[in-house]
């Protein structure tokens, strides 16, 4: 038995480190659509921990709040409350409704996250792919949070991961030019099909349109696949606009990775992007 004692102690310590309280399918609207729900992952006995608010990808048409890989465990283990939200999807609703759903979900977090050990005034908004566009937009275009009675002051940082729609007109022009030059048929579900044909709306759904000095925009950590031309170009575009407005911004290109892998690897101990993200979060929470 004496030989087992250190092993048992180690197992108890590992179990304690990995413990988390999970509450799933919490409605954030009243009445709530089946998609207007979120999950909360919290460390046991948490109190006033910063909150990571995660927005899944899927082209605004698919995806689910369960698409979080190892992120909940990573963030809980490092002292965060982690929230993953669903939102209604195309074609059942339009793009503006999707963004309003995200803002409404943030409002629920602000009002209730203290019950789960989170600090409602220390929110980090993150998302992958389509979720990256949504994260960047609600962290820059303050109209959506204002409609919920909130301000950008509660957002301490934004981390969009490999998005290609921070400048919607640019990606539409890029994609359509590429198809025209190469004689490719138009896609059934391209950016124009998702964002519509109104150029004014294209600009309005673009985070870059709404960047301005002294607006209270939080620091940004823009993560992208270094070898992907579209997400790299969009990351640099957003980063440049933010920096010109005096917003603290880091643009990080992950190498030898893919659109899916850069997201799935977040939280792994040997992942360079995770190390850079951790440094960003530590600095953002000091401000």
pLDDT of 11 strictly over 50? no
Angstrom distances, CA of residue 210 to CA of 54, 206, 239: 22, 8, 13
> Predicted confidence band at 20 (pLDDT cuts at 50, 70, 90)?
confident
Residue 108 lies in a domain: yes
Domain count, the chain: 1
Mean pLDDT of 22-48: 97
Residue 50 lies in a domain: yes
Q: Which residues contact 97 (CB under 8 A, 6 or more apart)?
A: 88
Domain coverage including residue 35: 20-286
Residue 142 lies in a domain: yes
pLDDT digits (tens, 9 = 90+) for 77-117: 999 999 999 999 999 999 999 999 999 999 999 999 999 99
Separation CA 240–CA 236 (nearest Å): 6
* b/e 233-243 (16+ beta carbons within 10 angstroms → b): bbbebbbebbe
Q: Evaluate whether 89 touches 34 at the Cβ level (below 8 Å).
A: no
Residue 13 lies in a domain: no
Mean pLDDT of 134-142: 99
Residue 167 lies in a domain: yes
CATH number, position 226: 3.40.50.1820
Residue 272 lies in a domain: yes
Separation CA 191–CA 87 (nearest Å): 19
Query: What's this model's pTM, rounded to 2 decimal places?
Result: 0.93
Residue 6 lies in a domain: no
Q: What is the CA radius of gyration of the chain?
A: 19
pLDDT of 9 strictly over 60? no
Residue 11 lies in a domain: no
Q: What is the average pLDDT value for the chain, to the nearest integer?
A: 94
Tell me which residue has tokens 């600090």. 119
């Amino acid at each position: 038995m004496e030989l087992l004692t250190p092993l048992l102690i180690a197992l108890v310590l590992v179990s304690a480190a990995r413990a988390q309280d999970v509450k799933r399918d919490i409605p954030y609207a009243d009445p709530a659509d089946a998609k207007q729900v979120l999950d909360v992952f919290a460390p046991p006995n948490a109190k006033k921990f910063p909150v990571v608010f995660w927005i899944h990808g899927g082209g605004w048409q698919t995806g689910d709040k369960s698409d979080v890989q190892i992120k909940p465990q990573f963030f809980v283990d490092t002292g965060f409350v982690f929230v993953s939200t669903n939102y209604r999807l195309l074609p059942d609703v339009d793009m503006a409704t999707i963004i309003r759903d995200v803002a409404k979900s943030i409002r629920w977090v602000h009002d209730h996250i203290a019950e789960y050990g989170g600090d409602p005034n220390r929110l980090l908004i993150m998302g992958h792919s389509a979720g990256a566009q949504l994260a960047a937009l609600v962290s820059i275009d303050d109209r959506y949070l204002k409609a919920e009675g909130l301000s950008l002051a509660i957002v301490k940082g934004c981390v969009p991961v490999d998005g290609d729609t921070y400048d919607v007109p640019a990606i539409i022009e890029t994609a359509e030019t590429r198809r025209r030059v190469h004689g490719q048929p138009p896609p059934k579900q391209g950016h124009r099909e998702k964002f519509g044909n109104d150029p004014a709306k294209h600009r309005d759904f673009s985070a870059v349109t709404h960047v301005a000095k002294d607006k209270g925009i939080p620091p940004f950590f823009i993560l992208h696949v270094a070898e992907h031309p579209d997400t790299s170009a969009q990351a640099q575009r957003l980063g440049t606009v933010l920096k010109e407005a005096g917003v603290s911004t880091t643009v990080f290109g992950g190498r030898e990775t893919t659109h899916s892998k850069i997201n799935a690897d977040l939280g792994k101990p040997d992942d360079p992007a995770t190390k850079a993200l951790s440094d960003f979060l530590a600095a953002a929470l000091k401000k």
